[in-house]
Amino acid sequence: MSDKVKFEMEIEVKSSTSVLYGMISTPSGLSEWFADDVNIKGDIFTFFWDGASEDAKLITKKKGQSVKYQWVEDIEDGLKTYFEIFIRVDELTNDVALIITDFAEEDEIEEAQLLWQNQIDKLKKTIGS
C-alpha cells in the first residue's frame, strides 16, 4: 500500500463561527452536509453514505474552532492520517474560512479535493452562505 499524502484546502464561508462549529462537530450538523446520516457512540462517529458506513474516532475538539477525526480503518492499519476541519477568522477582515486537512493516495488528491469542495458547497447551501 502506498503512503497517503497530506493536503490542505482553504474555503471561504460566509457564516458565524458558532453555526459552523455546530455543523462540523455534531452528528445532526454533519448529517446535513457531510453524510446521509451520522451516529455517535462515545468518541466514535459512524458516517452513513448510500447504505454503506464508516467509523471515525474523534481525536480532538476545540470548542468553536476545530474538530479532528481519524478513520478507524486507518487506526487499525497503523496510519497516522486524520481529517481536520478548522474554522479560521481573518483578524483584519473578519472573513471566515474552513481549513480542511486530509490525507489521500498521491494519485487521488485531486479527486479528494473535489469531493471536499462539493461537500463544503453543500454546507454553504445548507447554512445559506
Percentage of the residues of the chain whose pLDDT score is greater than 70: 98
pTM of the full structure? 0.92
- What per-residue confidence (pLDDT) applies to 129? 82
Q: Which residues of the chain have pLDDT under 50?
A: 1
Residue 124 to residue 97: CA distance in whole angstroms: 11
Domains of the chain, by residue range, sit at 4-127
pLDDT digits (tens, 9 = 90+) for 54-66: 999 999 999 999 9
Residue 21 to residue 15: CA distance in whole angstroms: 10
Residue 99 to residue 24: CA distance in whole angstroms: 12
Could you please state the CATH topology (level 3) that the domain comprising 4-127 is classified under: Alpha-D-Glucose-1,6-Bisphosphate; Chain A, domain 4 (3.30.530)
Residue 45 to residue 67: CA distance in whole angstroms: 12
Residue 2 phi, psi (nearest 5): -80, 160
In terms of Cα–Cα distance, which of 11, 13, 10, 12 is closest to 127? Answer: 13
Residue 103 to residue 17: CA distance in whole angstroms: 25
> Considering the chain, what is the average pLDDT of its residues?
95
In terms of Cα–Cα distance, which of 12, 9, 10, 33 is closest to 23? Answer: 33
